[in-house]
Structure 1
Amino acid sequence: MMMNFHVKRRQQFLSEKNYQLALKEIPQGIKLFESEPARSGSSEAEGWLISYRMIAFDLFNLLVLKYTGGESIEAMRSELEGVVEGYERATNQLREYSRDPNASGFQVDSFDGYCPCLGLISLCYLLHRRDLLPRVAELLDGPDKNNVGMDFLIEDFLSYAPMDRYESDTLLVTEPFESLADAMDSADNKDALKHLRKFLKRWYKDLAGAPWHDAHKPDAQGRTGGYYGYWSFEAGAAVLLLGIDDDSSLHTYLYYPKDLVDWAKAHSVLEAKQNAVAATGLRCEAGQPCPKGGYWMTPAKSGSRRYFPQGQEMPPVASDYGTTIWQWDPNQADPTL
């Protein structure tokens, strides 16, 4: 027997009618943007840039919508990589269009870029997909590391991933994120919880300038649209990263993703597995010499796993995702044996 939607959903603003409508319309929008460049662009290249940005935006919103609608968190783990790929494709198009190979994939000096960037990083932790964090970091940093150290909080979150990060004393968006930064910088978890409560108390109000704010409210014609869920994934990630065992004092806040935090804690074995993968996770761009002999694969093509000897030039793969990135397969078993 299927669970009643009103029981299953994780926020009361989402009606079953709007949920089913969004589940249908978002993939349709993605398909449309994949088929042609947006007509609002002044050129075909700018049109594709707008289209790819909208695809990334829609993929992120679809994932959030499914969480709000009470769908399985397990399924979100694999879907998260598709969101990262969407932002990679948009960033590659931006760098080509702007002729700046280090253009940042997120405009982190505004709500429009800062919130999804920090949200995406946080979901990588909450869904035990730390292996995706180097790819998210590259979207920010650029291949030449031209944009590193732009924001204290982003750098602080990324520093928990298996990679070297950079010092920063700048917080680009102070309200409400100053309290979250204070929580991450706390000497003990009691103090951290105090700052997290302050952060969540003001989270929605202080983000009034965000494009999704009040999207659940009907307009003058009584229509609603664009609401997929209001979630402070960064607060949940902070609890996980700081090792806070008792987060019950945060459950009273509507925007705190307690189900996701509970799932992340209960599935900590996945974290250990992902850490092991990340520890050996090498990446190499097409055209570069293979840094280590063994089996590699690329997300640009399914079934791409193959053996490369050290020093061999890594080949490109035709796809819509821009530069081919080969990744070391942690399972080095020979399939012929």
Structure 2
Amino acid sequence: MTLQQFERRQQFLTPQMYETLKAETLNTIETFKVNPTGVGDSIEERRVYSYAILAENYLNLLILEYTVGNSLPFIRSQIEIVIDYYEQYGSKLRSYHKNINLPVFELFTIDGYWAFEAACAVILLEIENDKVLQEYLYYPKDLVDFYQTFTLKNSELNFLKNHNKLSIKAGEKSPQQGYWFTVAKVNSRQHFNLGDVFPDFESDWGDVYWQFDGEE
């Protein structure tokens, strides 16, 4: 999908800037999937911090797609990739340092633009009237509105309860029989039996995740 098909949430993000930032971010991701960082006293420690770079850049990519105007359902579907890489980084970091309390995530914004912290505060503090905040250009009001009005389907709730996640990475086995789809490919919805392996293919994001969509 081209930039012209989006209604940009930040008008200062030009088409050229978007394409450049996306290409640079994806290049960084591909580099550190196979190469360790230069930080660390051992190759093991350097590989640990390569996962930090991967997680951070997948988050940057998600924020970039939000900024350029991609749909919130798409953003929601891709956040599993960000969570997955932060979980991998956290597991490797805590295992390496033998400290289960080490933090792995700090909330930040891309180029300091979006006030995601304000949106989180509104949600966590259950503030019902955020009208004053909505006047500010940097407040991601559509994310808060989406959170307050969105409800999971019963099939999604049951799947989340049983598996503690909503999507599965390509190459892994289906944990439940039913229909699955991926936003990485148009008209991808299809039926998988328990144990079927989810197919992989080229995607703008590199990693492909399949999302459960019910049994019918």
Taking a change above 3 Å as real, the CA distance of residues 243 and 48 of structure 1, as seen in their structure-2 partners, is: same
Does the CA contact (< 8 Å) of 1:277 and 1:330 recur in 2? no
- The structure with the largest alpha-carbon Rg is 1
Deviations 1:138-167 (A, max 9, x none): xxxxxxxxxxxxxxxxxxxxxxxxxxxxxx
Does the CA contact (< 8 Å) of 2:155 and 2:213 recur in 1? no
> TM-score, normalization: structure 2?
0.67
Does the CA contact (< 8 Å) of 1:53 and 1:90 recur in 2? yes
CA-atom RMSD, angstroms?
Answer: 3.6
- Give the match for residue 59 of structure 1: 58
Identity across matched positions, percent: 32
Distance apart, 1:239 and its partner CA:
3.5
- Give the match for residue 291 of structure 1: none
1:258 and 2:124 correspond: no
- Report SS of the residue matched to 2:137: coil
Q: Where do residues 178-257 of structure 1 align in structure 2 (5 Å cutoff)?
A: 227=111, 230-240=113-123, 242=126, 244=128, 246-257=129-140
Partner residue of 2:107 out of 109, 115, 128: 115
Deviations 1:9-32 (A, max 9, x none): 212332221111111111111010
After TM superposition, the runs of 4+ consecutive aligned structure 1 residues lying more than 6 A away are: none
- Report SS of the residue matched to 1:82: helix
Q: Unaligned 5+ residue runs, structure 2?
A: 178-211
Amino acid at match of 1:65: L
- Give the match for residue 98 of structure 1: 97
Does the CA contact (< 8 Å) of 2:29 and 2:57 recur in 1? yes
Distance apart, 1:86 and its partner CA:
0.6
1:270 and 2:152 correspond: yes
Cα distance in structure 2, aligned partners of 1:27 and 1:13:
21
Amino acid at match of 2:33: E
- Give the match for residue 35 of structure 2: 36
Aligned length in residues? 179
Amino acid at match of 1:252: E
Cα distance in structure 1, aligned partners of 2:78 and 2:142:
18
Taking a change above 3 Å as real, the CA distance of residues 79 and 298 of structure 1, as seen in their structure-2 partners, is: closer
> TM-score, normalization: structure 1?
0.45
